[in-house]
Amino acid sequence: FQGIFVLGLPYALLHSGYSGLFLIILAAALCCYTGKILIACLYEENEDGQLIRVRDTYEDIANACCKKQSSKLGGIVVNVTQVMELIMTCILYLVVSGNLLSHSFPYVPMTEKTWSVMAFVTLLPCVFIKTLKIVSKLSQLCSLVHFIIILVVMTYCLTQIHQWSWAKFRLSIEFEDFLVSVGVIIFSYTSQIFLPKLEGNMKNPGEFRCMLNWTHFFACVLKTTFALTAFLTWGEETKEVITDNLPSFLQTLVNLCLLTKALLSYPLPFFAATEIVYACISRGNHSNYRSPLFALGVRGSFLLLTLLMAMFIPHFALLMGLTGSVTGAAMTFLLPSLFHLKLKWKKLSFLEKCADMSVFILGFLCSLAGILCSIKGLLEVFG
């Protein structure tokens, strides 16, 4: 919840004004709700009325919903969406790495794209990661670095409290800019693809709903506080990556910390995406698809793909908004509500059905509008 993409929230407030604060809170509530109904789809009642976990993954839920059409159609849709989101996350890490390096060393005559290539070179060992054990250790370091970054930014903002003014908030907003902000905010909360495995590995799964409530509550408080204090400090001058606003003596230090965090964060989505693809390809009995060399080729291809995409779309906020509107909205709002209605229709109350339908319609409209506006923004950037 508190990943590197939190740094785009002040920029989202710049384009959404007061409504952005409301959106951060609303997104937390909706994401918490869809997380609960997604996990509910893993369970069915037995003859004694007890809930039994009969499914293990998001893919299993999708296949159960689409079994009349095709036994594997739903799983394919979910896997494609998951891979898109994970690979887009990897691309964002490369884009932001190039941005951070160029701002940290402005006196070096290199473009952001060139710096992204430099960052890419340090990530080449990712093709040799075979287990989550290494990834988990890297993630622990990410948490420590992230805490340092947020602490530094927040401390500086508090030293500028005498300059704060609520007049910096917009009362009127541009509709297209607002919709891009919606995508950014949604993307900062996406976690549904990890929830089935997380719940299945909990010592006491019965505490899952309580855990979800508290984590979303604290995430909402932290995001709102960070976005608000940063925006009140810089106002209209707020940049896509908020650390670019820091004074030079802090910017280099924080940017290098962010670069470290981005590079350490890359292996997790990269590993998850390549594992999904490799598992889908190697399900057959063909021995060539199960060789270590083939797995290395899959990981190498995906690594190169993320670099090429980062070269073509080097715009952090627009790319983040597009990703949130496409895959984030689908995995967070559309599919959980649709699956819940499909699997639990006979047991849902009228209000529960209305809630699921409302989430689906809202997610669809936000996704469609966000996609159109993000694409238009990218086209304008490319002239």
198-248 pLDDT per residue, tens: 888 788 989 999 999 999 999 899 899 999 999 999 888 888 778 778 888
| Rounded average pLDDT over 297-323 | 75
Q: What is the pLDDT of residue 91?
A: 84
Most confident of 29-38, 47-56, 195-204, 284-293: 29-38
User: Around Cβ 69, how many Cβ atoms within 10 Å?
Assistant: 9
Strands (E) across 271-383 are located at none
Tokens of 155: 């401390």
DSSP code of 349? -
| Rounded average pLDDT over 309-321 | 66
Q: What is the pLDDT of residue 104?
A: 78
CA distance 314 to 41: 38
The three-state secondary structure class of 53 is strand
Q: Does residue 281 register a pLDDT over 70?
A: yes
Q: What is the pLDDT of residue 293?
A: 79
Q: Does residue 371 register a pLDDT over 80?
A: no
Q: What is the pLDDT of residue 374?
A: 66
Which of 7-16, 197-206, 263-272, 370-379 is the least confident region?
370-379
DSSP code of 44? E
Q: What is the pLDDT of residue 348?
A: 92
Q: Does residue 285 register a pLDDT over 90?
A: no
Q: Does residue 3 register a pLDDT over 70?
A: no
Q: Residue 329: which of 366, 279, 287 has the closest Cα?
A: 366
Q: What is the pLDDT of residue 111?
A: 83
| Rounded average pLDDT over 116-136 | 84
Percent of the chain with pLDDT over 90: 18
| Rounded average pLDDT over 52-72 | 84
- Give the HSE-up count for residue 166: Cα atoms under 13 Å, Cβ half-sphere: 3
Tokens of 54: 């009969």
Q: Does residue 88 register a pLDDT over 90?
A: no
Tokens of 215: 């984590």
**Helices 267-281 and 132-159, packing angle to 10 deg:** 150
Q: What is the pLDDT of residue 280?
A: 78
Q: Does residue 284 register a pLDDT over 60?
A: no
Q: What is the CA radius of gyration of the chain?
A: 21
Most confident of 139-148, 327-336, 346-355: 346-355
Q: Is 287:147 a contact under the CB 8 Å cutoff?
A: no
CA distance 27 to 359: 11
CA distance 185 to 288: 42
**pTM, whole model, 2 decimals?**
0.79
pLDDT tens across 138-193, in order? Answer: 878 887 888 888 888 889 999 999 888 877 777 666 776 776 677 678 767 877 87
Q: Is 277:46 a contact under the CB 8 Å cutoff?
A: no
pLDDT tens across 63-87, in order? Answer: 888 887 776 778 888 888 888 878 8
CA distance 169 to 160: 17
Categorize the per-residue pLDDT at 1 as very low, low, confident or very high, splitting at 50, 70 and 90. low
Residue with tokens 């941005």: 99
Tokens of 327: 């895959």
Q: Is 306:265 a contact under the CB 8 Å cutoff?
A: no
Q: Does residue 94 register a pLDDT over 70?
A: yes
Mean per-residue pLDDT over the chain, rounded: 82
Tokens of 114: 């060139």
User: Around Cβ 152, how many Cβ atoms within 10 Å?
Assistant: 16
Which of 94-98, 114-118, 326-330 is the least confident region?
326-330
